[in-house]
Amino acid sequence: MFESMKVSEIFPTPLWALDLKPEVHGPLNAKLMRAIEAMTSPRPPIRVGETWQTDPYIHTLPDFAELVQIIRGAAKGALDFLQVEYESFEITGCWANINPRGGLNTRHTHPNNFLSGTYYVQVPPDANRIVFDDPRPQAMTLLPRVKAYNKFIGNEVSFEIKDGRLILFPAWLPHGVPANQSERERVSVSFNIMFSAFTETMSRPLWRGTAGPRVEPG
Ligand SMILES: [Fe+2]
């Protein structure tokens, strides 16, 4: 009946996963664990389900300099992939998360940034998922059963995380981490990426008026 059927993926959402080589993430994660342990000891008591988090500026500390270079390299790759035109970007926040048994992170987004991501320092085998929600509310109006999972139907994606993996995604993409079922702590470092001098370099109109005098931006 038809000569062909073509399916276009319109408005796809990128999720980048970058894995360091074991010989790189082994010593790096050991170093990061030592730094995170040192800066979070002694730990204050938390309630069941809660997570310890450090101050969100650990990217300024020497112990995290190597990770910062890795994060910056990954972010540049993602921006290149998107073919974004920009002058420079910066890590606006970076913090460590320690999920004890039962610890979780409820669904959230990272407002006022372009990209967000997490690097995984210690992932127990039975706490190795992050879950992303479909950001299109209309898509959940009908969710018919399917014969097999496919990326065109469904309201969430559970993505595998592991030691030495860095994930990057749009900061607006809702995500959460299920409760850690392991006695071993799940340790990660999360971060946000935003364009430097955003209002000066990227917010201004790209067009000029067709009536009235020419007015230079203030
Ligand atoms: Fe997050």
Task: Supply the pTM of this predicted model.
Answer: 0.94
For ligand 1, the distance from its centroid to the CA atom of residue 190, given in whole angstroms, is: 7
For ligand 1, the distance from its centroid to the CA atom of residue 83, given in whole angstroms, is: 24
For ligand 1, the distance from its centroid to the CA atom of residue 108, given in whole angstroms, is: 6
| Angstrom distance (rounded) from CA 39 to CA 43 | 9
Average pLDDT of the chain, as a whole number? 96
131 contact partners, CB below 8 Å, separation of at least 6 = 156, 157, 158, 159, 175, 176, 177, 178
Buried-state track 141-161, b at ≥16 Cβ within 10 A, e below 16: eeeeeeeeeeeeeeeebebeb
| Angstrom distance (rounded) from CA 192 to CA 115 | 6
- Tens of pLDDT along 79-98? 999 999 999 999 999 999 99
Domains of the chain (ranges plus CATH)?
16-135+154-198 (2.60.120.620)
For ligand 1, the distance from its centroid to the CA atom of residue 159, given in whole angstroms, is: 14
For ligand 1, the distance from its centroid to the CA atom of residue 122, given in whole angstroms, is: 17
- pLDDT tens, residue order, the chain (218 aa): 999 999 999 999 999 999 999 999 999 999 999 999 999 999 999 999 999 999 999 999 999 999 999 999 999 999 999 999 999 999 999 999 999 999 999 999 999 999 999 999 999 998 999 999 999 989 989 999 999 989 999 899 999 999 999 999 999 999 999 999 999 999 999 999 999 999 999 999 989 999 999 998 87
